[in-house]
Structure 1
Amino acid sequence: MNAEKMRSNIAGVSELSLKYIGLTGEDIERLHSMAEKVLSKKDEIISGVMSSLTSDPDAVEVIRKTGLEAERAIKLFELWLTKVFKDQYDEKHALSVFRIGLAHVKSGVDERLMINNMGAFTREILKHINNVEDALVVSKALFWNLSMMIYSYEYIKNLVIEEAIGTSEELMKRLISLFSERVYKELLELL
């Protein structure tokens, strides 16, 4: 897939996510106005996230395999957290967050861990938010970030399916649907 098509796909997913989640220009301005307050608590926020991260055996294994040191992880979290509250949620921002997701894919971080980590960030950030309106805006922003990061997993899976395996995306979706139906029926037996 060429770079222009990739850019277009990422921009399209970003626009759909912004609309679906309801993250507006006013919300982005509100994030910017919260930036100083929230970022002044970044050490406390990241400490709480790191505590959750290091309590997960899968996360610890990824950290071990990649050789990621705590100081580097903290610095990366700080950079991303700053983007959440200071960036524009435009195409450039979408590409940047997609790239963050791609770095996680490349490092072996699975979607479950990505989602749990975003949950930990949500928990820690919301501890410092005083009203429902601000909490709603922060939640929308974090879900947009999660959407862009998770899209990087989908993008790579589709690329592997099409280019390395040679199966069309449509066929793969059909196979996933069939296998999901089978697992769903098996799960019903457990309930």
Structure 2
Amino acid sequence: MVTIYSASSGPSILPRRVSSLALVILLYTAATPFSPISWLTGPLEMSGTYLADRLLAGLILLGACYFQWAVASLRSAVVITLPTGGSVTRVRDGRLEQVRGDGVVLGVWTVEGYWHFALAQAGVLLLAEYAGSETLRRFVVAVVVLALWIIGWAATPASLKRWAWEHAKVYLFLLVLDELRNVAMQGLGGGGGRRRRGRW
């Protein structure tokens, strides 16, 4: 049975929000260095892979951190779907209509499930941080980030997602310009003075 709370009658979200901040810190600590594209395709020395990580890793991790907050801030149950895009054909008033598909329903996230999720997340992230296995760290971080994206995407209003996407495009544009500048500086013999940035 799914219990849906209203904004006025639901439980206080303050303890969940406080715990989400601690989980964000723990996730960031366990995830760094975060290079998910390199994890999948090969070593960090691959320049093309490094560019993909430079462009995407920060956004992916920042999104997961925000989604941690969004999940903790929920006051009611949400339906978790996997967006598939495209459209579906439905019959309405005796006519065939193309309707935008909502995606595959994965389940329902309830407010009551937050603490189980938070404790499990804290446990596996602590394991990833202190177990001493790089393979385990990468696997756990990838699973946690993926789970936060799936649940958090459903928990975030569409208007906020559109706002974030507009700003993400600007961020990506500036990063591409920075990479082009770095390539130009190396081509002109200024590569020795390039500042090395920590890799996500």
More strand by percentage: 2
Normalization by structure 2: what TM-score? 0.27
The structure whose RCO (Cα within 8 Å, separation 6+) is larger is 1
Greater radius of gyration (CA): 2
Normalization by structure 1: what TM-score? 0.28
